Structure formats: C-alpha cells, structure tokens
Amino acid sequence: MTKRFRLGVIGDPVAHSLSPTMQQPAFDALGIPAVYELWPTPARELPARIMALRDPDVLGASVTVPHKQAVMDYLDEVTPLARRAGAVNTVIHRDGQLIGDNTDIEGFATSLIEACPNARVRYALILGAGGAARAVALALEALGLTRIVVANRSVERAQALAADLEPAPIAVTSLDERDLVPELRRSSILINATSLGWHPGETPLPLEWLGALPANALVVDLTYRDTDLLVAARERGLRTLDGLPMLVYQGAKAFQLWTGREAPLAVMLKAARQARAARS
Ligand code: NDP
C-alpha cells in the first residue's frame, strides 16, 4: 500500500517510544495509508518541526518529553483542557490549522475505570508534580474525587501544580514520613507519577510505608513495566496497575482525533504488550 499520510512522535530522545509500535498496526488494521515515524527533535528544531506539520499529507503528531509545554507556542489552538494541564501531547492537523490536545488525561481516567469499575474512590495520593502528575490530577478531578494529595521532591513544584489546577481539590504535602504516612492511611489510590521506576531498585518512597495503605487500595505506577513499587504492593496483597493501559488509551484517543475513526484498541494493546515483552 502506498503510504500517503504521515504522522510521528516529536521528542528528544524518542528512540525508546512505544508509540510507532502501537500506532502503525492501528493504521494498517483499518487500511489507512499512513506511516507513523520517530521524529527526534532537539529544542532548537521544534519551530521548524511544528511548521512541517502544516504539510497537507500530515495528519498530526504525538508530543513527548521535553516539548509538551513549549509546543503550545507554535499551535493555532490549544483545547481548554490541555491549556489547563499546561501540556499538549497530541497535535491534530485539521483544515490547515494545528490544534493541541492532551489525551493523557482521558488515557489515565479510562485505565482507572477499567481497573476498578465499581469502586467508590474518594482520596488519592499522587507522587510527583510533573506533566504526568498534572494529567492524573485532572483525570481524578473529572472522576469526582474529593481529596487529591500531591507529594513531590520539590514542594514548590507541587504547590505550583495545585495553584494552576484550582479549583481542583488538591492538597500538597512533603515526602517526609511524618507527612506522608498519615496520607497513605486514608488513600484509596496511590499513584507514582515520578520518573522513578524505570530501573530496578528505584522507588518513589520506602516500600515498607506501603503497609500504611488500606487493604483495598490500588497502587498505580505510570511506568509501563512491573516496577519494584508494584511488586512490593502485590506482595502486601494490594491491587496494582501499571502505565501500559494509560499509554494505549491515550494513543487510542489521539488516533481517533487524527482520523475521525474509532481506534482498534485490541490491536494497539497487543502491539504495546509485545513491544514491552521484547524489551524486558
Ligand atoms: P517530568 O519530568 O515532568 O516530572 C518528573 C517527576 O519525577 C517530578 O515530579 C520530579 O520531581 C520527579 N523526580 C524525578 N527524579 C526524581 C528523584 N530522583 N527523586 C524524587 N523525585 C524525582 O516527567 P513526566 O511527568 O512527564 O513523567 C513522569 C513519569 O510518568 C515518567 O516515568 C513517564 O515515563 C511516565 N508517563 C507515563 C505515561 C503513560 O502513558 N503511562 C504518560 C506520561 C508519562 P521534581 O519536581 O522534584 O524534579
């Protein structure tokens, strides 16, 4: 099939991205003649890269670290939700206009609903205050949580998150045992949204503190591997969820925005799982 349309993931680095592995089979499955590529883009090349998205054959792009914020300056429109999150992870090229959206929010919400469809979740504790933590906080607000606590190495960054996302019900605490353990005791969900977890031995908090969580709590790690945090949580009988479903659901939402078609979820999930298995 001659590939007429083009898409790609913009970031620096992007070599590790699972997006092409998951998006290309989705386009192929629906017979859409598109190629999804890796577009490594140092910061100085970002304006030219975004300008190139205006080519009529480009459907859009995914945006990853470190450009999720900077990209907003080069777009014609940013959706209110992405503007509120302060991050764009998807650019849609529509009728000559470049629109920025944030599908991480829906991706996380969908993965959470799937993991605990009937649970009444009220309190959540997020570790981390970067772009992913912002998306998680907005998803939890949309799901109706009444208390969302954010704990981060840099407390100032957590405070900025809470201020930017007002009126979401966000409180800030430190990572000190004295502050964190009482929060763990009343949390129905613990979410690791820090970048710690990609390597064995990396944990966002001392694992023995997991004992403070209620027995029916869910421990989520946005890292899409079985992290030490998730293993330790399971050993304590807690339910766990890794970041792969979020990755797939945010990608499926982006696919739908680019093409106007429902994404072939099963195809994407299978491709993402296979790619993860091949890497581990
Ligand atoms: P950011 O760089 O924006 O934020 C990183 C966060 O990790 C900050 O809160 C930072 O704290 C914290 N952190 C980094 N190093 C340390 C450390 N040594 N000790 C304590 N805290 C640390 O990254 P993102 O928010 O974009 O991504 C966070 C994670 O989420 C990554 O692992 C990413 O791969 C994953 N992710 C997964 C997605 C999915 O679909 N599953 C989607 C998006 C992200 P500080 O502010 O103090 O520096």
pLDDT tens readout for residues 229-257: 999 999 999 999 999 999 999 999 999 99
Residue nearest ligand 1's atom 7 by CA: 194
Active site residue 3: no
Residue 110 CB–ligand 1 contact under 6 Å: no
User: Separation of 53 CA from ligand 1 center, angstroms?
Assistant: 28
| Weakly modelled stretches of the chain, pLDDT under 50 | none
Residue 69 CB–ligand 1 contact under 6 Å: no
CA–CA distances in Å: residue 107 to residues 11, 102, 146, 245, 270: 19, 9, 20, 8, 17
Q: Which position has the token pair 């072939």?
A: 264
Residue nearest ligand 1's atom 12 by CA: 194
Tokens in use for 37? 């590529």
CA 158 to ligand 1: nearest atom:
46
State residue 121's pLDDT score: 78
3-class SS of residue 149: strand
CA 246 to ligand 1: nearest atom:
40
In testing the pocket of ligand 1, which one of 194, 223, 227, 230 has its CB within 8 Å of the most ligand atoms? 194
Query: Cα–Cα distance between 183 and 93 in angstroms, integer?
Result: 43
**3-state DSSP: the chain helix, strand, coil percent, rounded to 5?**
45, 20, 35
- pTM here is 0.96
State residue 116's pLDDT score: 85
User: Separation of 66 CA from ligand 1 center, angstroms?
Assistant: 11
Residue 250 CB–ligand 1 contact under 6 Å: yes
Residue 100 CB–ligand 1 contact under 6 Å: no
State residue 187's pLDDT score: 96
User: Separation of 60 CA from ligand 1 center, angstroms?
Assistant: 25
Query: Cα–Cα distance between 61 and 25 in angstroms, integer?
Result: 16
Query: Cα–Cα distance between 156 and 11 in angstroms, integer?
Result: 26
What does the buried/exposed string (b/e) look like for 77-97 if buried means 16 or more CB atoms within 10 Å of the residue's CB?
Answer: ebbeebebbbbbbbbbbeeee
Query: Cα–Cα distance between 35 and 6 in angstroms, integer?
Result: 5
CA 198 to ligand 1: nearest atom:
32
Determine how many CB atoms are found less than 10 A away from the CB of residue 111.
22
CA 154 to ligand 1: nearest atom:
47
Residue nearest ligand 1's atom 41 by CA: 243
> What phi, psi does 130 have (nearest 5°)?
-85, -160
